[in-house]
Amino acid sequence: MTGWQTLLYKEVLRFWKVSFQTVASPVLTAVLYMLIFGHVLQDRVTVYDKVSYTAFLVPGLVMMSVLQNAFANSSSSLIQSKITGNLVFVLLTPLSHWSWFLAYVGASVVRGLAVGLGVFAVTVWVGRPGFVAPLWILVFAVLGAGILGALGLIAGLWAEKFDQTAAFQNFIIMPMTFLSGVFYSIHSLPAFWQGVSHLNPFFYIIDGFRYGFFGVSDVSPWLSLGIVGAALLVVSAIAVNLLRIGYKIRG
């Protein structure tokens, strides 16, 4: 294997060795969300025509799990390596900043998709969505995981202790995820909050992903694709530049 492939393998192996915690636990959390929200709101919330609320909920929960776990993978890996001191062994290798980026973000995408598949496999029996446009599902899943993997890389480089990465996730990633239309259609919101939702890039990830299942969405999937693609380019450029200058990892 080449250098970046070896580092990618190491990062995938890192989370897979504790898959009960990194994969099974998020799947259980999503199932609990499905059982609680699906049971309570099934007959009280109307979203798209001929789409039950539980079926509407499945893609949202899948993508929420993908995003949160992609972020957690790269951010936790970097901060653990920095605190324990074993990051020095990676620094000693002749790997370029691009190799670091591909390995860490690639492993985040793998973990995010693994958790997403697990959530889908369990929740699909409760509410069955369709598969109107499978390619859109795959594209938004990979792009969304890539964005959060790059954001996790940025957070891991910036943070100097676990509290800081936890704060990044709890005060930025978590609110943006929950307020992106996972549990509701933004058309049910007042006009002001609809406008606020349109400023949240996570909304476009979930809305485009949901379009692949139902063929309907709150905004055009092409608009969502453009915004998500632009967001990926921006966060990737920031992450690559921080790696290039060795931000907080090189003396």
Q: What is the pLDDT of residues 138-179, one digit of tens each?
A: 999 999 999 999 999 999 999 999 999 999 999 999 999 988
pLDDT for res 251: 60
pLDDT for res 182: 86
Residue 83 inside a domain? The answer is yes
pLDDT for res 111: 97
User: Could you say which residues of the chain have pLDDT below 70?
Assistant: 1, 41-46, 251
- What residues make up the domain containing 136? 3-245
pLDDT for res 179: 86
72 three-class SS: helix
φ/ψ (deg, to 5) at 140: -70, -30
Residue 145 inside a domain? The answer is yes
Q: With contact defined as beta carbons under 8 Å apart, do 69 and 109 qualify?
A: no
Residue 251 inside a domain? The answer is no
Residue 27 inside a domain? The answer is yes
State how far the Cα of 56 lies from the Cα of 42, in Å rounded to an integer.
Answer: 10
Among residues 182, 245, 168, the alpha carbon closest in space to that of 37 is found at 182
| CA 41 to chain centroid | 25
Residue 70 inside a domain? The answer is yes
Structure tokens at 81: 């390596």
Residue 250 inside a domain? The answer is no
- What total number of domains does the chain contain? 1
Planar angle of CA 103, 82, 87, nearest 5 degrees: 55
Residue 44 inside a domain? The answer is yes
Residue 32 inside a domain? The answer is yes
Residues 6+ positions from 28 with CB-CB distance below 8 Å = none
